Amino acid sequence: MFSMILNKLDKAKVLPRISDTERQALNAGSVWIDGELFSGNPDFRSMMEEAYPALPPEEQAFLDGPVEELLRRVDHWELHNTRRVPDEIWTFLREQGFFGLIIPKAYGGSGFSTLGRSAVMMKTAQLGPVGTLVVIPNTLGAAELLIGYGTEAQKSHYLPKLASGEFVPCFGLTEPTAGSDAASIRAEAVVFKADDGQLKLRLNFTKRYITLAPIANLVSLACQLHDPDNLLGGGEQPGITVVLLEKGTPGLRLGDHHLPIGPFDNGPIHGEDVVVPADNIIGGPTQAGQGWRMLMEQLGGGRAVSLPAGGVASAKAAAAAVGPYSMVREQFGIPIGWMEGVTAKVARTAALAYVLESSRVYVCAGVDAGHHPPVVSAILKQQTTELGQQLLIDGMDVMAGAGVMQGPNNILGSAYISAPVSVTVEGANILTRTLMIFGQGAVRCHPYALATLGALENKDVRAFRKALLGWMGHSIANVGRGVVRGLTRGATVKAPVADETARYFKKLGWASTRFALLTDLAMFCVGGKLKQRGQLSGRFADALSWMVFGVTTLRRFHAEGARKEDLPVVHWALKYCLLEIQRAFEGIYANFDTPVVGWMLRYPGRFFLKINPLSSGPGDAEDRRVAAAIQTPGEQYQRIALGGLGSPRDDEPGMGRLLHAWRLVSDSAEPQMRVKKAMRHGKISAPDVVAAIEPALAAGIISADEAQRIRAAETARRAAIQVDVFDQADYYRDSLSRHNDNVHDGRDPGMARAANQ
């Protein structure tokens, strides 16, 4: 019977097929909390026991010392305009070991944890090209690949020089015809035997969008390896391979720039008949054809580091700015932060900054513990960069004119301009969401899908029988759980705590059961067409993402001691997470257009889904309490917003002067209220608070000390809301010509050229 079922399923192509590159991606990394959520019956106790650590003292000292000093040394506005990292900053980065955070101490590096590297990247994320200099050497590229796969000779030669900054690396992957579909690269390396008897590679390639390429002197190049004479013993087409190329190698061309919307060094790499020894393959000739596996294994955890750090930095920067600004800026005689529309934006920013930071710490700690979860890492990359961008937009909305006028005092403008970069790189978010997260998760994280597919492809009836029976039992159990949990609204789910957050564990468990049931329906009813149903897959990805965020938020709350003052933020955040899961389910039900099952989901299913929702989201009354968390100076503001981003001095433009004004305004708030009350009741006649200070002092409404505090606060307030002004000499640029008009290479001096010219 099972043989017949196997053959029918195979002919009908009910389940999705897996290509060789997809198989390597599926086999890379590990299943983690995502597997619990796909099970339909997650073990929240084990998920709450995952580490949520503070940084080791050595790494915290680096953040408080060299990283803080770097923030003070970099002139953001100068860097934004010149796009050139000053020599003294290069020297500081090298001397302080910024290039070797990922490299073990045995090779001259710092050997930082994943969480430590993420913290450094988050703190330097707003430094434009300087931040990029910190990120690239310490993420996917030469150092990480050499540590994981390099020969001892390669490690001994390259790692100390990478740690010292003598070698500046870049990673050559993207091509004009191979972007998110990185497996389709056309860069070619052909193996041949040279006259001296050595095995060598001849490479020809065109790469683009390569970060640090214009200033790099060591390239890790991904290419298709061809070995027509089988000299390496791995066949004529070993596959994708990573090869090290040093600047100065004949035929290798570096130095040209693209012009990203956020300034950082990025450009093309060209190679024409570049010849290097076969020993330049990372891992040596025995690792020929293993490049795709290397990339997938490293991205399994690595995708959770750099880009999420930048996304979380954007969210925290938005929170750090809009909370204070909404209280410093007044209109109609009150802080704009008291207006409900603004309050809603501030509350959302505060809560989601809390959520995203929880995910960064939780997942980085998981990677440090030995997990390499590609699905969870993809969620972090897609969601943190997407939400970080959205929160910057909200921040610009709150700051209005002060947000869009550029200059040294603009706080969010540079991050806002640069945000699309993170959304598009390392797998564009639109494809990460609609193809990768659920497409990979449904097969890899499902308890029986991968085993069933393997048995189906291998025509292994015994393995197929075992996997299919297990899958059937899994589905039947989830049907039963789904009915019970739906009727009881998750009351039967075991929560690992007994406090008022227990309700959220129960609802997340209920959501997981529904998610698992819908996954099974999608696998069998949509089957092989799932790859083409990107919108449907994207909604599954959304549901999974917000379940992960719900778990990490609860873990943070309890790891930090279940602070009572954080409860309003946690309630808002969990209600929002559950609302997003609910919306994802509604989208799945509405667009599950298969016969019978689709009709049941679209009509009776959607009806019951709407009358028995997971959440209707946080209410308006909750916004006020959550917004207050970042509108009042103190430890809570530091933890949720500014913490991890640096400590601006009062005399610094932008954030420094805003925080200075905010503290003074907060300190004088109570006597100011007395003055304004007296003005409203006609006890004092004055056009504004400043003019009312002397009459209020004379009337005994405020003391001399309070008068001085109000005066200082109002002076600082007015300074903090000013924007930069430029004279004509600073504003206008007469041309785009090159600095040396005598060297045009046959082109007009102000014209760019195509990357392949």
**Rounded to whole angstroms, how far apart are CA atoms 168 and 680?**
64
* Tokens, residue 269: 């790499």
DSSP collapsed to 3 states, 53-113: CCCCHHHHHHHHHHHHHHHHHCCHHHHHHHCCCCHHHHHHHHHCCHHHCCCCHHHCCCCCC
* Tokens, residue 375: 């699905």
Contact 50, 369 (CB under 8 A): yes
Q: Is the dihedral of CA 476, 477, 480, 483 positive or negative?
A: negative
Contact 65, 505 (CB under 8 A): no
Quick count: other Cβ atoms within 10 Å of Cβ 586? 16
591 class by beta-carbon count within 10 Å (0-12 exposed, 13-18 middle, 19+ buried): middle
Nearest C-alpha neighbor of 416 from the set 545, 306, 305, 321: 321
Contact 207, 221 (CB under 8 A): yes
Beta bridge partners of 170: 219
Beta bridge partners of 243: 221, 281
What angle in degrees, to the nearest 10, is found between the helix axes of 2-12 and 461-488? 80
Nearest C-alpha neighbor of 136 from the set 302, 282, 326: 302
Beta bridge partners of 178: 175
Q: Which conformational region is residue 490 in: left (phi greater than 0), alpha (psi within -120 to 50 degrees), or beta?
A: left
Please, what's the largest Cα pairwise distance for the chain? 100
Which of the residues 357, 386, 426, 622 is marked catalytic?
426
Q: Which conformational region is residue 220 in: left (phi greater than 0), alpha (psi within -120 to 50 degrees), or beta?
A: beta
Residue 79, CA distances (Å) to 279, 392, 567 in order: 39, 21, 40
Indicate if 670 belongs to the active site.
no
Helix or strand holding residue 294 (H, E): helix 291-302
* Tokens, residue 246: 């040093």
Angle (CA) 572 574 576, round 5°: 70
Residues with catalytic annotation?
Answer: 426
